[in-house]
Amino acid sequence: MNRSQPQPKVREKERTRVRTGEECEFTTTQEHLARTLRIVSGVVGRNPALPILGNVLIKNEQGQLRLSTTDLEVGVTAWLAGRIRGEGAVTIPFRMLAEYLQHLPSGSVTLYLKPGALVITARETEGKSPKAAHAVLQGESAENFPLIPALEEGSEIPLPPRECGQGLERVLYAVATDDTRPELAGVLVRGEGTTLILAATDSYRLAEVRVSLPSALTQPLSVIIPGRAAQEIRRVLETAEGATLRVGEGQVLLRTPTVHLVSRRVEGVYPDYTQILPQQSPTTADVDRADLLRSIRAAAVFSEQAVSRVTLEVGADQLRVTAVTPEVGETENTIPAEVRGESVAISFNARFLREALSALPGDRVQIGLGSATTPTLLRPVGTATQKPRIPQSAPGESKPTLETLALIMPIRT
């Protein structure tokens, strides 16, 4: 359509007429609609062979507006409350709708769900000169949208949303980015007693978070969730007021009061990484986390780009970060450290160190070093004296807590 041509005026009565069974009228605010679209934005498909995966399904369901997207591996549905009447459903190109909403004035937005189209009217009544907008977005029949499976059966556990969201954020960087070993391309979620364990490894590094639950699980849980689905679960949990995880045959379902996310499970057995967790380290160094991060970033400038190799040298009351590349130059950065044990120098991939330190909480971190052939353990100072075990909640304890660690394999010299 040529936008320069004048558009025919639509009388207000024509815009607001609703015929039950043929179209649906829904009124909310621009802010609430945009927020709900962001929740389902992460799994919008980009498959040229199935262009409808780039759409969002919008329909009236049980007196609320339902918005759904899927890439056929993960499906997300969010419900939005508002004033609604009539029945209807349509599927619309997601990005066109999301971009258009960004340019609407804040205030009331009314959607009219018609067969194959979505009509949007927006009004901002504040100020001396009210603003208004009107658009018709062409779409497809809702019947063409892929079915998102409903997981009706399976074991279900409650999740503390804030802590589990933080836990996922702290381990996702270690998920493998290729499918050579499919089980490593996911996050292990394992529950036992009063502890929920989140872990990820690509065989070169490991990240683990243990969430202490307010009450014991009724049965053990172990499932591998694909990395992309885990990332979307983290996004949903950021704003959730409560959540449960249901594990069924081949699928998992995250439920919050306003969002459902369903994903396939990763088949396979997750490696028993607990066998390589050091029980103690010959040398430990407590350092300021921000200082160490800055030193590693500075050293990485001088390291070979293919390997990004930096060396940590621990001595008396200090830690030096060095990098040498003959064609580029060399650097040395020294920061104070509380050192216990012998002096040692071990090389690492700078990116692995940087990502692990960025994910760890707290101002100070303890680095437990062994040798060039054994893994190095990183923990926030304050938890470093605890052995890597499954903690049990004290009687009457109700607030979930997090215990975080990272493991990195050195670069062999």
pLDDT at 47: 86
Give the Cα separation of 85 and 15 in Å (integer).
14
The fold for domain 155-273 equals DNA Polymerase III; Chain A, domain 2 (3.10.150)
In tens, the pLDDT along 36-53 reads 999 999 999 888 899 999
Residues forming CATH 3.10.150.10 domain(s) in the chain: 16-144, 155-273, 278-387
Kindly report, residue by residue over 52-71, the tens digit of the pLDDT: 999 999 999 888 999 999 99
pLDDT of 385 strictly over 50: no
Of residues 19 and 252, the one with the higher pLDDT is: 252
* Average pLDDT of the residues in 360-377: 95
Name which CATH class applies to 278-387: alpha beta
* Section 234-251 average pLDDT: 93
Whether 394 shows a pLDDT value over 70: the answer reads no
Q: Which of 110-124, 220-234, 389-403 has the lowest mean pLDDT?
A: 389-403
pLDDT the model gives residue 383: 60
CA dist 127 → 30, 130, 327 (Å): 17, 6, 64
What is the CB-side half-sphere exposure of residue 42 using CA atoms within 13 A?
A: 21
Q: Round to whole Å and give the CA distance between 174 and 404.
A: 13
d(Cα 216, Cα 31) in Å, to the nearest integer? Answer: 39
Instruction: Determine if residue 33 is left, alpha or beta; phi over 0 gives left, psi from -120 to 50 gives alpha, anything else beta.
Output: alpha
For the cut 70, the answer to whether the pLDDT of residue 15 exceeds it is no
pTM metric for this prediction: 0.86
Provide the 10 A C-beta neighbour count for residue 247.
20
- pLDDT, position 396: 46
Looking at residue 179, its pLDDT comes to: 85
Angle between helices 161-171 and 227-237 (to 10 degrees): 140
Residue 32 CA: distances (Å) to CA of 38, 68, 106: 10, 16, 10
Q: Which amino acid is at 353?
A: L
Mean pLDDT of 290-307: 90
Average pLDDT over residues 228-235: 97
Q: For residue 214, what pLDDT band results from cuts at 50, 70 and 90?
A: confident
Q: What is the pLDDT of the chain when averaged over all its residues?
A: 88
pLDDT digits (tens, 9 = 90+) for 318-365: 999 999 988 889 999 999 999 999 999 999 999 999 999 999 999 999
Reply yes or no on domain 16-144 having CATH 3.30.70.120: no
Average pLDDT over residues 227-249: 94
pLDDT digits over 156-209, tens only? 889 999 999 999 999 999 999 988 899 999 999 999 899 999 999 999 999 999
Q: Is the pLDDT of residue 129 over 70?
A: no
Instruction: Decide if pLDDT at 297 tops 60.
Output: yes
